Structure 1
Amino acid sequence: MKRLLHVLLLLVLASTAAVAPATAATGDGYWHTNGTRLLDANNQPVRMTGINWFGLETDTYSPHGLWVRNYRDMLDQIKSLKYNVVRLPFASQLFDSGSTPNGIDFSKNPDLAGLSGQQVMDKIVEHAGRIGLKIVLDRHRPSSAGQSALWYTDAYPESRWINDWVALARRYAGNTTVIGADLHNEPHDPACWGCGDTARDWRLAAERAGNAILAANPDWLIIVEGIGDNYWWGGNLQGAASAPVRLNVPNRLVYSAHDYATSVFEQPWFNDPAFPGNLTAIWDRNWGYLVKNNIAPVWLGEFGTDLADPRDRVWLKKLLEYLDNGFSFAFWSWNPNSGDTGGILNDDWTTVNTTKQAYLDPYLGGGGGTPPAGPCKVTYGVPNDWGSGFTGQVSITNTGTAAINGWTLAFSFPGNQRITNGWGATWSQTSATALEYNRGIAPGATVTGLGFNATYSGANRPPAEFRLNGQLCNAALR
């Protein structure tokens, strides 16, 4: 057993050494644009390879799936699959009094009890920042009842839309987890681009909102979707060629399109005898030209499929190959309860649809959201193992010079280990968060008394790495 632990320790330390960067990590800080590229605060190229996690825009006023799992566990799993950005849809109605979060199992999410929708959003942002995920906020709907063609309705006028965005920009100013604002989801008819009618011209509205946001928070990316003219809603950006969006802060504009498979809607190009050879020209014409002609970055903020139709598989493979030429993306969706696409998660809200994920895997990890190595050491041990279950023990040492005030330890088991109960922290399947009495760790101090019971079958290998508040720790086995 000692020999086995020695070998495992060498493997863990080797993997730690292999991934720990020597300098600031790619993706640090706020992001900005340069030509068609996205750059981080250190001017290193980055790419949004993200996923949509919806629910804040619905009448649950919280991300979906929290009736099954802890929100930190969800985010940790997203991170473990190498997505680096979460597009987080919300509705303006989220901020109204009386919009009370529901559909949450508070025994699994005790720190969300009694919070407003805005405060639930805060919690998502907080944990995403701890583990190195970036967040893009998406104003998906005015009300939770459904989407709107224009950016305003009688109940939620343009002034409210802009004021909500300015309030969010101020709320998260200085928080480099939130990097951008997707101004309004899927504008479509009667929305126009460049027609000059202030009641319908989406390009002019995007300028009004974008500049108001940048006046409050000049660090955000301003993400502007296309319109739905003879294409997917939000996907037609042809008008940006002659009527580009004009922002008062340079290097902040990102255009965004949406594109879907035939399982969502039977567009004529899917039945064209030239399919799939016709797709590249269609994408070029509607949004791809912006990158190919070196005009501006493009983020495909939604694309998805249930893979039910054989053409969907062809479409998805070809689209991902196309996007690998300088485009960012966010898959729709994490949620399995997206009616026409399903999700990366299966209906149990826990296991991964490995068929879908396999299409995306080669294109994930596009820079960003990978935190630097940190001044911490984690010691992991298994004092008891009875073949179908085990007891795990963990201690955390602050090897730095600054005190730690509040912590979350993230990890991922390489097998099918499932934690059944724990002590000394709030445990999920992929994280442990400090309790009030042990949230502070002075320099040189060690937190002990952390442990859990778990079940497993097969090999019981330890996590390959541990990250404290998003920073990689040295690891030891005992």
Structure 2
Amino acid sequence: MFRTLRRALCVAAALLLPLAGVQSARADGADEAAGAGYWHTSGRQILDAAGKPVRIAGVNWFGFETANHVVHGLWARDYKSMIDQMKSLGYNTIRMPYSDDILKPGTMPDGISHDGKNTDLRGLTSLQVLDRIVAYAGQSGLKIVLDRHRPDAAGQSALWYTASVPESTWITNLKALATRYKGNSTVIGIDLHNEPHDPACWGCGDTSRDWRLAAQRAGNAVLSANPELLIMVEGVQSYNGTNGWWGGNLMGVAQHPVQLDVPDRLVYSAHDYATSVAQQSWFSDPSFPANMPGIWDKYWGYIFKQNIAPVWLGEFGTTLQSSVDQKWLAELVKYLRSTSAYGADGFHWTFWSWNPNSGDTGGILKDDWQTVDTVKDGYLASIKAPGFDPGPGPGPGGPGDPGGGNATCSAAYTVGSDWGGGFNAEVKVTNTGTLPLKSWKVTWTWSGAQKVTNMWNASHTQNGATVTALNAAHNGSVPVGGSASFGLSGAPGGGGATGVSCTAT
């Protein structure tokens, strides 16, 4: 976004403009099953592996680029329920900002609750958490665009390098991510660097400032690691004396296009905002908002309209508190072209943001990380696009399976009845990982002298107050997201358990 540091302020926007006749959240169409495999470009369109046109219509879910080193909101919710909700609202892509910090060995996430949620993320590094998010998004039919948002968690940078994160590190890390997810078409592309701005230039020829040349170097490096990825290249702030939003000025493409070694992989990306982020001269023009299509044409829209390349509006957002912002968003949505009228032949987009804790825009979610801002979401209804078929799950040792093939599970222990002299309990085992379970065991500890007197649908051993239960022959196999149960009787009463854990293979 157009600022040096993101503010994590939970600001509730007072949204005033009701929408009449909002279109359905998911567009109908014959291309419902589009999106298979890796994608490529053809003119201004993005096509899937079968040549079907697709439209990116998604949200930004930030956090990996901050000092938390993980997407925000996992202190409030399970990551799977978050992705499920995105899908249910009709979003088909997640732009995932990150900083190079998460590629430092051993970087751990901060701000994840494991209390009844995110249990399969316990003990994982930031990169391994990203693996799990990518895996579940893919199984849910969502795509991911990785966004190198910051060189480190301290803040954004005007150029693609800093004194502490040189260009060589930037490129090495981009190639590492391209290699990590090679073969997993859930990760459809990489946004090389977020919001280049002054002194960055486009086409000036100074290799220390020319973002277009740097994007070519980095893009070709990524494609050398995985030639199937889309390369997203943002604009700059200024071109030939004309100022715009950070990353939002693509005027230089007309004379100085990005040239990649692999054809049909380039997507240009712009950012555009309203007055809740910053003022611009066009907002006070007497003809506003009728002047806005001409502004967008000048900065980035011409690339699409002249069939040069696809254009992706990687960030746009507002609190919607002012009438100017409301008019801006309504005009922008119209400019991006409705899916019902144009299908996938429109601008691609990811809204800023899913998170409510973006101080100058707010998000699709309200401050409780659960409730949808239906007014803001409603503005986007006409440009939402069909989702994609779920992709195949990653194989053993793949990105969705950090740790080399170990499946994961959780166990919930519930006392059903207790009559003082004894009790009955049920244990539910859930596959929380990305691979089917072949077998499982559950361990817990009682606080007193309780002993197992009977157990069904599992076998057990007991050592003092600690019990270990192993699956029976018929219920050891548990599919991803599935569950199995077993029961037991014990004596005396008071059979509540602590330290319940599940181990799976």
- The TM-score bracket by the shorter chain reads 0.7 to 0.9
What is the alpha-carbon distance in structure 1 between the residues aligned to residue 259 and residue 130 of structure 2?
29
Pairwise mapping of residues 97-112 of structure 1 onto structure 2 (< 5 A)? Answer: 97=105, 99-107=107-115, 108-112=117-121
Change (3 A) 1:174 1:372: closer
Aligned mate of 1:296, from 296, 305, 309: 309
After superposition, what is the alpha-carbon deviation per residue over 1:120-157, rounded to whole angstroms, capped at 9, x for unaligned?
A: 11011011011110000000000101000000001000
Aligned to 2:181: 172
After superposition, what is the alpha-carbon deviation per residue over 1:201-232, rounded to whole angstroms, capped at 9, x for unaligned?
A: 00000000000110110000000000011100
After superposition, what is the alpha-carbon deviation per residue over 1:27-85, rounded to whole angstroms, capped at 9, x for unaligned?
A: 11111100000101110010000100000000000000000001111111111111110
Write the letter of the residue equivalent to 1:338. S
Per-residue deviation at 1:439?
7.5
- Does the CA contact (< 8 Å) of 1:183 and 1:224 recur in 2? yes
Aligned mate of 1:266, from 268, 273, 279: 279
Mind listing any 5+ residue stretches in structure 2 that lack a counterpart? 1-27, 338-344, 394-405, 410-425, 441-474, 487-505
Change (3 A) 1:436 1:352: farther
What is the alpha-carbon distance in structure 1 between the residues aligned to residue 180 and residue 201 of structure 2?
31
After superposition, what is the alpha-carbon deviation per residue over 1:398-423, rounded to whole angstroms, capped at 9, x for unaligned?
A: xxxxxxx9799xxxxxxxxxxxx993
Task: Report which of the two structures shows the higher radius of gyration computed on alpha carbons.
Answer: 2
What is the alpha-carbon distance in structure 1 between the residues aligned to residue 112 and residue 484 of structure 2?
31
* Number of equivalences: 383
Mind listing any 5+ residue stretches in structure 1 that lack a counterpart? 1-18, 375-404, 409-420, 451-478
RMSD of aligned Cα (Å): 2.9
Aligned to 1:44: 52
What is the alpha-carbon distance in structure 1 between the residues aligned to residue 126 and residue 61 of structure 2?
15
- Does the CA contact (< 8 Å) of 2:32 and 2:388 recur in 1? no
1:31 counterpart = 2:51: no
- Does the CA contact (< 8 Å) of 1:425 and 1:434 recur in 2? no
Q: Give 3-state SS (helix, strand or coil) of 1:212's partner.
A: helix
Per-residue deviation at 1:363?
1.6
- Does the CA contact (< 8 Å) of 1:299 and 1:329 recur in 2? yes
What is the alpha-carbon distance in structure 1 between the residues aligned to residue 364 and residue 476 of structure 2?
34
Pairwise mapping of residues 379-398 of structure 1 onto structure 2 (< 5 A)? Answer: none
- Does the CA contact (< 8 Å) of 2:74 and 2:111 recur in 1? yes
What is the alpha-carbon distance in structure 2 between the residues aligned to residue 223 and residue 348 of structure 1?
32
What is the alpha-carbon distance in structure 2 between the residues aligned to residue 84 and residue 294 of structure 1?
24
Aligned to 1:346: 366
What is the alpha-carbon distance in structure 2 between the residues aligned to residue 41 and residue 439 of structure 1?
37
Pairwise mapping of residues 80-159 of structure 1 onto structure 2 (< 5 A)? Answer: 80-97=88-105, 99-107=107-115, 108-159=117-168
Aligned to 2:414: none
Q: Give 3-state SS (helix, strand or coil) of 2:330's partner.
A: helix
- Does the CA contact (< 8 Å) of 2:202 and 2:210 recur in 1? yes
What is the alpha-carbon distance in structure 1 between the residues aligned to residue 181 and residue 391 of structure 2?
22
What is the alpha-carbon distance in structure 1 between the residues aligned to residue 29 and residue 301 of structure 2?
35
- Does the CA contact (< 8 Å) of 1:101 and 1:116 recur in 2? yes
Per-residue deviation at 1:24?
9.2
Q: Which portions of structure 1, spanning 4 or more consecutive aligned residues, are displaced by more than 6 angstroms? A: 405-408
Write the letter of the residue equivalent to 2:86. I
1:211 counterpart = 2:220: yes
Aligned to 2:245: 232
1:79 counterpart = 2:87: yes
> Identity, % of aligned pairs?
58
Per-residue deviation at 1:100?
2.1
- Does the CA contact (< 8 Å) of 1:67 and 1:104 recur in 2? yes
Aligned to 1:6: none
Pairwise mapping of residues 327-406 of structure 1 onto structure 2 (< 5 A)? Answer: 327-365=347-385, 367-371=386-390
Q: Give 3-state SS (helix, strand or coil) of 1:169's partner.
A: helix
Per-residue deviation at 1:96?
1.8
Per-residue deviation at 1:275?
0.4
Structure number with higher helix proportion:
1
TM-score (norm 2): 0.71
Aligned to 1:64: 72
Aligned to 1:16: none
Aligned to 1:468: none
What is the alpha-carbon distance in structure 1 between the residues aligned to residue 429 and residue 179 of structure 2?
36
Aligned to 1:401: none
What is the alpha-carbon distance in structure 2 between the residues aligned to residue 176 and residue 372 of structure 1?
8
- Does the CA contact (< 8 Å) of 2:64 and 2:102 recur in 1? yes
What is the alpha-carbon distance in structure 2 between the residues aligned to residue 372 and residue 141 of structure 1?
29
Aligned mate of 1:423, from 405, 422, 428: 428
1:279 counterpart = 2:292: yes
